[in-house]
Amino acid sequence: MSDTRFRHGVVVGKFYPLHAGHAHLIRSAARQCERVTVEVIAASVESIPLAERAAWIREEHPTVRVVDHLDDTPVDFASDTAWRAHTATIAGLLDSPADAVFTSDAYGEELARRLGATWVQVDPGRIHNPISGTAIRADIAAHWHELAPAARASLAARIVVLGAESTGSTTLAAALAEELGTTWVPEYGREYSEIRDGGLDAPWRSDEFDLVVDRQMAMEDAALRRVPMPVLVCDTDVLATALWHERYVGRPAPGIRRRADGHRPALYVLTGDEIPFVQDGMRDGEHIRHAMQRRFREVLAEQSAPWLEVRGSVAERVAAVLPAVREAIVRATSFAAPLEGRPLAEQEALRGRTAGDASR
């Protein structure tokens, strides 16, 4: 027997960020409606981009129609003027009238009345899903399991460990992940070196490095969606691959460098070259290690992500990097206060500023 009761349902929210309660709300609407529109309405003062939030919903709920809109109109449930403005925005984003409004909170009753629709309250009091965006923003680590995988992938701090050959980057990546209680992504380039045609002796081609980048980023993306806390450790990344392209192909890789520019981590950790060199059968040799290390330092100094170089034993390196990692996690998972969480006078001032910007 079908659960369909309505022709067109609407779900409105900030999704700041997208969590299990939102998922339950959207799925409830999808079960009861022939079609559903999810409206993502954000304010300019909020720190997660509007398009990013809409992309999360499209990924997690591919059967619904998702629209997004930036709106700095003050949120004041006691004001008829504010209600009329918000209702006009919500109605204007619909491609046909809605006959059902799905919310958990009580504002849905008035919104449905103004839209001429039926209000469907889902999980009143949040009994089944006792979570809210406010709680998550206050302590994201404690509520990490409540986030949608797509949101986790966007919000987790990515820590990249890199360095010249035999500087202990893989050992540090594994040790750091264990200390943090999270997962780490190994270096795909090493795996590829073992299986490529011609082995280590065949000349390298640029397209092979493009392949390595594609596979490395895919591995990172998959890991970010299942990471158990808001940090992922990676053994190398796109920027390091660009430097190895220089080494083995003999010229820069502008395309890979551009991809690196668009894929900055929360923190780079460069492993020091003071430890003894160990030849494992896949490395060039100690004669180029220090030159490559200098090149890593040069390139890291030129780019915008924070970075530090660590030396000493594995334990000393982990201890040295932990404060910077914790700062990176805070930066990646801090939220600006939402519009409705600010005093009404501040909301009004914001609307005045954005209206002035729009008129210029």
Residue with tokens 């796109």: 238
Q: How many residues does the chain have?
A: 360
Neighbours of 348 (CB within 10 A): 15
Alpha carbon distance 354, 349 (integer Å) = 9
Beta strands in 14-168 (DSSP E): 33-42, 65-70, 100-103, 118-121, 157-162
> What is the distance between the alpha carbons of residues 260 and 264, in angstroms, rounded to a whole number?
6
CB 302 within 8 A of CB 242: no
End-to-end CA distance of the chain: 56
Q: Please tell me the distance from the alpha carbon of residue 217 to that of residue 234, in angstroms, as a whole number.
A: 10
360 residues of the chain, pLDDT tens digit each: 457 899 999 999 999 999 999 999 999 999 999 999 999 999 999 999 999 999 999 999 999 999 999 999 999 999 999 999 999 999 999 999 999 999 999 999 999 999 999 999 999 989 999 999 999 999 999 999 999 999 999 999 999 999 998 899 999 999 999 999 999 999 999 899 889 988 878 999 999 999 999 999 999 999 999 999 999 999 999 999 999 999 999 999 999 999 999 999 999 999 999 887 666 555 565 678 899 999 999 999 999 999 999 999 999 999 999 999 999 999 999 999 999 999 999 999 888 777 666 555
Gap between the Cα atoms of 8 and 32, Å rounded: 9
Neighbouring-strand partners of residue 100: 9, 118
